[in-house]
Amino acid sequence: MDRTTEFGLKGATEMRQKNCVLLVDDDREFCSAMKKLLEKAGCEVAVTGDGYEALRVLSDSAFDLIIADLRMPKLGGVEFMEEINRREIDTPVIFVTGYGEVESYMTLMNMGAFDYITKPFSGKELLRIVRRAMEAPDGVHMGQPP
């Protein structure tokens, strides 16, 4: 069985042209691995190296999902989420981090982040979260009541 079918992303891809994901992280190796994983699962992936660049891209293009690092230079995850909310960008955001910070987790979830995943994580684990985010009704995020 094709692993992307197992996670249900191909079915979602057939209903819509492609699931567009914006990946925001300053770690090039991590971005490369994530991009390959997501593309194999049927997503179209754009990559930016920091939060400000991501906000510029988001002002011109629509995405189905944002996956962002919590700790980035220039604009950290909490500040990035504040800007997402201020600009009323209604795209689910999944944060990834190498640090299991309970306070950051609670803050981001209360701000409306869809989910938060701590490195290291498996591709299978990430794709499950991505699938849930893609299937969530518009405007419904795990961190917010429906």
CATH code for the domain of 52: 3.40.50.2300
* Tens digits of pLDDT across the chain (146 residues): 333 333 344 444 343 457 999 999 999 999 999 999 999 999 999 999 999 999 999 999 999 999 999 988 889 899 999 999 999 999 999 999 887 777 888 899 999 999 999 888 999 999 999 999 998 876 555 544 33
Residue at 108 is within a domain: yes
Given this model, what pLDDT does residue 141 score?
Answer: 53
Given this model, what pLDDT does residue 73 score?
Answer: 83
Residue at 28 is within a domain: yes
Residue at 143 is within a domain: no
Count: domains in the chain: 1
Residue 99: what residue type?
Y
Residue at 138 is within a domain: no
Residue at 89 is within a domain: yes
Given this model, what pLDDT does residue 12 score?
Answer: 40
Query: What is the arrangement of strands in the sheet containing 43-48, beginning at the earlier edge strand?
Result: 43-48, 19-24, 65-69, 93-97, 115-118
Q: Which domain holds residue 38?
A: 3-133
Strands (E), the chain: 19-24, 43-48, 65-69, 93-97, 115-118
- The answer to whether residues 81 and 113 touch, using CB atoms and an 8 Å cutoff, is yes
List the structure tokens of 47: 């990559």
How far is residue 52's CA from residue 99's CA, in Å, rounded to a whole number?
22
What does R_g of the chain's alpha carbons equal in angstroms?
14
Tell if the pTM clears 0.75, that is, is over it. yes
Give per-residue burial for 32-50: e unless 16+ CB within 10 Å, then b: eebbebbeebbbebbbbbb
Given this model, what pLDDT does residue 15 score?
Answer: 35
Residue at 70 is within a domain: yes
Residue at 140 is within a domain: no
Spell out the residues 6+ positions from residue 42 whose beta carbon is closer than 8 angstroms to its own. 4, 9, 10, 12, 13, 18, 19
